[in-house]
């Protein structure tokens, strides 16, 4: 399942989640307000949200429609 690491009030996070929902991509949302989630995002080398992690381990940050299309 796709993991989406988000922060409250993040517009790109909302847009990413909306895209995934509209395209029937199953995902679980994880807040970077939780210390373990923030540390995981940092361990991947990201400093901004959303961070998307695919089942294969591929990951990226930001609202990237080009990358999101690969999940549809």
Q: At 66, is the secondary structure helix, strand, or coil?
A: helix
Give the model confidence (pLDDT) of 19-68 as tens digits: 999 999 999 999 999 999 999 999 999 999 999 999 999 999 999 999 99
Domains of the chain: 2-71 (3.40.30.10)
DSSP assignment of 4-45 equals EEE-TT-HHHHHHHHHHHHTT--EEEEETTSHHHHHHHHHTT
| pLDDT score for 59 | 97
């Amino acid at each position: 399942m796709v993991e989406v690491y988000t922060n409250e009030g993040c517009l790109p996070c909302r847009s990413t989640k909306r895209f995934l929902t509209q395209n029937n991509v199953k995902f679980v949302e994880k807040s970077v307000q939780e210390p373990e989630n923030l540390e995981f995002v940092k361990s991947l080398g990201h400093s901004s949200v959303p961070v998307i992690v695919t089942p294969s381990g591929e990951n990226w940050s930001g609202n990237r429609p080009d990358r999101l299309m690969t999940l549809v």
